[in-house]
Amino acid sequence: MSMDTEVNKKVIVFQLQDEEYAVPVEQVSFIERMEPITRVPRVASFVKGVINLRGVVTPVIDLRNRFNMTETEHTEATRIIIIQLEEMEVGLIVDAANDVIDIPVQSIEQAPEVVGAASVDYIEGVAKLEERLLLLLDIQKVLTPEDLEEIKKAEG
């Protein structure tokens, strides 16, 4: 374990509505362009369906829907961030994946009671970087065990 891990946290920054969110780089397998999603019947509304990713059926979730934001048309910038969660991979649809950055750990603060549109339950902390405010997502909280059950249904 190198020393710099305590100084910086490497995250992938993505956009939802007007806010920037971040997830730890080690939870992200890869970032894909939007592709056709096969709908799956009888799953929660935030589970959009599945995509076939390199031969693996991967469930896809709409984070806007999960956070009760208005869903929007997908654009050129829309991305699917594939995250590793427990034993499975799940795709998260985001408005744009912006960049990979190092956040100084000391710039991360506890999340205030209300942060933007995402429920504070999902936010692990807030990082203030110059002009930017990054909301650090706690993926474990975004997708509860019950949600994972729903998602597994989608995998069929």
User: Where residue 149 sits, what CATH number does that domain have?
Assistant: 2.40.50.180
What is the number of structural domains in the chain? 1
Nearest by Cα to 14 from 148, 142, 110? 142
Tell me the residue range of the domain where 45 lies: 4-155
pLDDT at residue number 118: 53
pLDDT at residue number 86: 79
Instruction: For residue 51, give every residue at least 6 positions away whose Cβ sits within 8 Å of its Cβ, in sequence order, or none.
Output: 32, 35, 36, 37, 38, 57, 58, 60, 80, 91
101 CB neighbour count, 10 Å cutoff = 17
Nearest by Cα to 79 from 66, 101, 53, 97? 97
pLDDT at residue number 1: 47
What is the pLDDT tens value at each position of the chain, 156 positions in all?
445 546 899 999 999 998 999 999 999 999 999 999 999 999 888 999 999 998 999 999 999 998 888 988 999 999 999 999 878 899 999 999 989 999 999 899 887 765 555 566 788 899 988 888 999 999 888 888 888 888 888 877
pLDDT at residue number 92: 96
